[in-house]
Structure 1
Amino acid sequence: MGKKKVTRLLKDLRDPENKSYDELFSLIYGELKRLAYSKLQKERKDITFTETELVHEVYLKMIDQTQIQANDKNHFMAIAARCMRQILIDHARKKKAEKRGGNKKDVTYIDELLKQHHKTEELINLDKEINKLAELDQRMADVVVLRFFGQMSVTATAEVLDISERTVKRDWAKARGWLYKELKG
């Protein structure tokens, strides 16, 4: 799959009349599926939905936005990673509300699929701590989202954030240490 073709399709999407979403997703579908698979392997004990369902949720979330403002393939994948994070966090919050007696109807593929509540709590706590980290250092929080939820390489993360690979590595190390301290402390 050519980066140039993805970049061209992303530019085409800026035209409100253009509907290149389907072609764009067909080009990067495999990569999105690998990203979802990688993320779900870490959560496999608690999540029973497939990477295909998660990718479809991301597709629906992204196509629902009025315009995707991605400059290139890496930027697009970063947006997809953030969407995956939002989907998983929203799902975890719904599961937590249900545990407390909430009666809301499920609206996505994944609403009934987390099995163990302790992982739901961990995901919600991680999201809270990432939000706290963002208040202290937005770039470090962005690095965490892209590296953890997006499974992006150091190089791709550096390109998306327009910073050096060395800075990504340094922020990644600091952010992991900070999050560990906050989550375990």
Structure 2
Amino acid sequence: MAQDHVDPDQPHGDGAAPAPPLQLDHLTRSLYDVLHTIAHRERLRAGRPATLQTTALISESYLKLRQSRGWNSEEHFLASAATAMRHVLVDAARARLSRKRGDGIRAVPLDEEHDELPEVDDGDVVRISDALAALEQVDERLVKVVECRFFAGYSEEETARILGISARTVRRDWLQAKAWLFRELQGG
């Protein structure tokens, strides 16, 4: 997440002094209800059995976010929170898988009918994360869109606002990322 922090010593492109970075504790307090809703939804979606409680997911994400020095907007923070939740969920899934090995691989649903709340098991969460690591080498923005849409459950409009792109670009990137992930997850 080193790329998600703001360097307060770097000037903005317009030559003006940078605004002070927003602080984690302030953002967490002001956006706690949003974070709780996202964490609750993602805890139910990612991994069975759901051993990671909502508050634990927020706490673990908070610890990951503490590694960053600040954010330049609430949108920047929410995008970083989506990444942190992805990492926490994947870490938890990997830990559960290391305790018990799965009974086979199944297809991961990435179509439109599953945009709202697809249920995936631990193996799927880990496979998607590994595929996203490969996709990041191709297009980092596509990964951010997947983190926002799939791992944080943001709508197209919320994702557009958070990433500073148009909803149409989000829609196009989401379709492109799903197609890429489908091919990657199918081994082709």
Q: Which amino acid aligns with 2:30?
A: L
The runs of 4+ residues in structure 1 deviating greater than 6 Å are none
Q: For 1:180 and 1:66, how far apart are their aligned partners in 2?
A: 32
Q: Secondary structure at the match of 1:136?
A: coil
> How is 1:99-114 mapped onto 2 (pairs within 5 angstroms)?
99=100
In 2: Cα distance, 1:179 partner to 1:151 partner = 17
Deviation at 1:66, TM superposition (A): 4.9
Counting aligned pairs with the same residue, the percent is: 35
Equivalent residues in 2 for 1:63-142, closer than 5 Å: 63=66, 65-68=67-70, 70-99=71-100, 119-142=121-144
TM-score by length of 2: 0.70
Note the alpha carbon deviations across 1:126-179, whole angstroms, 9 max, x for none. 111111222222211221111111222222322333322211100101211221
The 1:150–1:166 alpha-carbon spacing in structure 2 relative to 1, beyond 3 Å, is same
5+ long unaligned stretches in structure 1: 1-10, 15-19, 101-117
RMSD after superposition? 2.3
Tell me the distance in 2 between the aligned counterparts of 1:23 and 1:142. 23
For 1:174 and 1:35, the matched residues in 2 are separated by: 24
The TM-score normalised by the length of structure 1 is: 0.71
CA–CA separation in structure 1 for the residues paired with 2:45 and 2:68:
32
Is residue 2:53 matched to residue 1:50?
A: yes
Which 5+ residue runs of structure 2 have no aligned equivalent? 1-18, 102-119
Tell me which of 103, 128, 146 is aligned to 2:148: 146
- Asked if 1:174 corresponds to 2:181, the answer is no
